[in-house]
Structure 1
Amino acid sequence: MKKTMLATALALGISAEAVAMSDTPETGYTETRYPIVLVHGFLGFDQLVGVDYWYKIPETLQEDGAEVYVITVSNTNFPEVRGEQVIEQVEEILAVTGAEKVNLIGHSHGGPTTRYAGSVRPDIIASVTSVSGVNKGTVVADTLIEWSDNSELFGNAFELFISGISHFVALASGNDKELAPVDSVRSMTTEASLVFNAAHPGGIPDTACGEGDYEYNGVRYYSWAGAVPTTRGVDPLDLITLTFSQFFPEGVANDGFVDPCTSNLGMVVRNDFVMNHLDEVNQLLGIHDLQETDPLAVFRTHANRLKNAGL
């Protein structure tokens, strides 16, 4: 089935990044009505130096019947630009599969990215799920942009640093889409998020830590998030989330990049998983707190939730 779909995709001129990863359904537990499309976050990728961004997540969903696509968008850019790239690739997926809609799942900056797609093209989006999305901004972006605006020295150094990482990720992952590193960070500030949310309000809660509309303009909205910056000392990526957790005021829960309350969207599955921002997508190589919920189990359960909702 996979080879047939790949051949069909190539015949239609569809990029390899928008080719299905699905196999024949087995148990049907994750067999959603519409394909699932995974959208990475800030500085994200499909695969980088042999490491998958969504480590074992597509395979886990496929095993029980889901049809899963991993797409790539600009690793740094405005959510509107990234969202248009999502729409373009979703249209390709629909052309190949004959499906009417897709279920989008976006991590981090993939939250507002997928929300944009659901907002402007509700006719082809069945649901949007935000995994620790920067839906109301993050203090990390607020602080970095404030420092950049108030210090030319820091601003220049920050632009050089973030641009270097962004271009390296793009080159190493084979992603040639347009980059806008500093603008991408600016789009994740609280101020910019307020403007974005006014234009694309679907699923956004009215309260500080509540739920939003479960359905808006025909699109279902869901979210979940972790709430701790570190989980296992053996994971080298914990150093990254621990460092950025220092930007948050004392006593404010966070996953190392996002306050879980600000990530809430639509139906909140949970916003207190014992996971950091990278554990949520099963990084690095599946290292997570072994005494707590497995990220793969969260994705499987959510696929079943979508299935039971007729999505």
Structure 2
Amino acid sequence: MKKLILVVSLLSLVVEGIVLGTLADTIAIADKIGVLGLALTPLLAIGIAIIVHWWRAREGDRTPRQLALGVVVCVLASAALVPGFVRAYSSAGAGGVPSPQRSRPSGEQSKLATPTLTPLVPSGMPVASSKACPMPDPTDPQLPPIDVKVVFWCKGDVVKANGEPDQSNFQIKMRPRLVNNTSSSISISIGNPSPLRLLVTGKQVDRRWSPPPLTKEGGDRPIVIECNGSDFWAIPPNLPHDAVATPAGIYSGFVSSWDGVDLKPGHNYFKPLRHNEDGSAVREGNLVFQVPLDENGSVIIYGLAILDRGTKGEILGLARFGVAEEWGPAVQPTSF
């Protein structure tokens, strides 16, 4: 009978060890007691078994052989914990707590593999200076010194001081955007001589050009410049506030509202649309050009250019008329 009880006890401890070893593989057990707890559990079981067998041996209920056999049984039961302990430890993080697992998506998404993110430069790997990015190819397209874009524009008639229509001129009103891509400040003041010019082709533009009074007194004039292999007349803009009321109840034309002086490196000049309390557009950042018509009542506009004041007509930037990326749509004159 004693041998049967001993065998049953041995099997019970082994089964218990296997069950505990299996449970130790679960994240819940590892998360509750930690890797250190998993390591101390078998040691605690062995210690308790030794104390119990030693105490009963003192009372004469156990022989030294049974004491040794009990220790062996505890060791075997503890050995059954090893596989689960190893698996739980391998899934644990550095702090002894298993790393969180991603829940698998259901349905069609379960067929998709989870992407693996790979760092561009592995941790600890030095980047040799000899393998750095190459120098820019000087033959590659470069940014222009000044990016020029006409964001809004419109065409308007000119009215003489007596209120009669001026059939020999019309006006172009525009709101440009300028971006300085150079390392130096660029003058964008429209004082004489203005770096901002409207490029046109036509007959005797310099003689036909008849600006309003303030612009005429300023002394600036149309000049001829070469652009992309052709010659163009480069007309300066009207000076600010250069329009008068006429007997017809309307003004003689549009007015420039420009306050640009110097454009710093990397900066831009542009006035976003704003409105007054009555809903009318705030007049700012606009240029107005007086354009003479030939005897056929026509003129060809090529674009808006900005010139370098320090050189003889070097073009720093150009927005070509009719190119959508450079010259925006025509809008209502009162909208900007």
For the aligned pair, the TM-score class normalised by the smaller chain equals under 0.3
